Structures are given as C-alpha cells and as structure tokens.
Copies of this chain bind each other. A is one copy, B any other.
Amino acid sequence: LADVSKIANDDYVGFTFFVGSMAMMAASAFFFLSLSQFDKKWRTSVLVSGLITFIAAVHYFYMRDYWDQIGESPTFFRYVDWVLTVPLMCVEFFLILRVAGAKQSLMWKLIFWSVVMLVTGYFGEALYLDSTGASTNPTMQWVWGLISGLAYFVIVYIVWFGEAKKLAVSAGGQVLKAHKILCWFVLVGWAIYPLGYILGTEGGLFGLQLVSDIESAQMSMNVVYNIGDAVNKIGFGLVVYSLAVSSSKD
C-alpha cells in the first residue's frame, strides 16, 4: 500500500500540486508516445517537449509530498526543476529555428541568460529567510529579483526582436507561426513567475509586502507557480507538437 495521508478539502495548494503532477505525467506520455508519427526532423523537438513535462512530473510528485509532509514551500525543488526545464525550452527555440540555419551560439546565449535569471532569483527567494520563513533582508530580496528580471528581459528581447526573431522570419510559414506563439508564452506565460515571486517574497516588489501573513503568502505563491508551470510546460510543448503535426507529411 502507498503511504497516504489525510488531505483537507480546502487545501488548494495540495490540489494544484496533485492536478499538476497528473497533468505533467499525462502530457509526457502523450508527447513520448506520439513520437513515431512525425517526420524524423521533428521528433527531437517533440521529444524535448516530453522531457520538459517528464522532469516536471517527477518533481511535482516530490513537491506534492513535500508540501503534504513538511508543510513548507518546496522552493528548492522548484529551482532544481526550472534550472533543467527552462534551458530545455531554450533548446526548443533553437531546434525549431534550425530549418532557418540557427546556430548553436543562439541556444547557448538563451541558456546563459536563463541560468542567470534563475540563479539570481533563487538567491532572492532562498537566502534571506530566518527559520520562521520571515525575511531577514527585504532589500536584497528585491535587488536579486530585479537582476533576475533584467536577465528575463534579455531573453524576451532575443526572442521577440533579436536574432531568434530574424531567423523565424526567414523560416516563415508554420515555423514563424509557432515562434510567434512561443514568444507570447515567454512574455505573458513566464511573467506569471515574477508575480509569484512578488506574492511570496516579503520584499519582493521593491520592498512592498503584498501578502502580510507568511503562510498565506507562501500559499498564494505556490498556487501561482503551479498554474504557471502547467501553462508554460504543457502549453509550450503543445505548440511544438502542433508545429510537428502540421509540418509532417501524412
């Protein structure tokens, strides 16, 4: 028998962790098992979509249990997850733009900035907490958040207006269409995360504290992060999937 524990009917964080883990798991099965129907050159892209949700699935099972048993935000595991999945999303941008001659350097640039974004975000979120979860230095928290945000905007710039955009235009057709949707994911979907950060971090927004009670702050942050993950990982993957469908011969 599995080791289960009682769950409260109004445990919304637990609910989103559960839904998240199942959705990620199902999405991985979907991407992996559909591989064979695509032309070879699209398989890698869809495979990477599956890896992203698969990594997330394993983490969600873990975080769900962590939340249940320890009753604290599994911040640590979120960042383990992101530091793997966000670079893989950068790989996706590269993979679909290869038809237009994208160079690996583009991929490494995106990966570099995504790692900067996540490492500095982790510093802000994790390093200035006392044992009760209260902030020991709200100023440093928003400073790190701001640096992280700048790195985020570099990524937004590259995909919306920079090198990646030019390649997408020269590829045209389905690739350009998919690229445009992915750009919106980066601009709107990814913006969910700084929102979660602001909600959950005492000094998140230039020292402003939006949710004063630590426990509710953590709860709202986790719900927001869980929604963000579902939208971004599964949605992003589905865009790539559709591109592969429409570009593969029957």
Contacts and interface: CB of A to CB of B under 8 A. Distances in A.
A161 interface: no
B51 A15 contact: no
Contact of A62 (B4, B44, B88): B4
Q: For the complex, would chain A's binding face be called helix, strand, loop or mixed by DSSP majority?
A: helix
Stoichiometry, as copies per complex, reads 2
A84 to B, nearest CB: 6
Nearest to A125: B9
A100 interface: no
Given A19-B84, A83-B19, A1 B58 contact: no
Interface residues of A, number: 58
A29 B47 CA distance: 9
B32 A43 contact: no
22 contacts: A2-B3, A3-B3, A4-B65, A6-B70, A7-B76, A14-B76, A18-B76, A18-B77, A22-B55, A22-B59, A22-B81, A22-B84, A25-B58, A26-B54, A26-B84, A29-B51, A30-B47, A33-B50, A34-B44, A37-B40, A37-B43, A37-B44
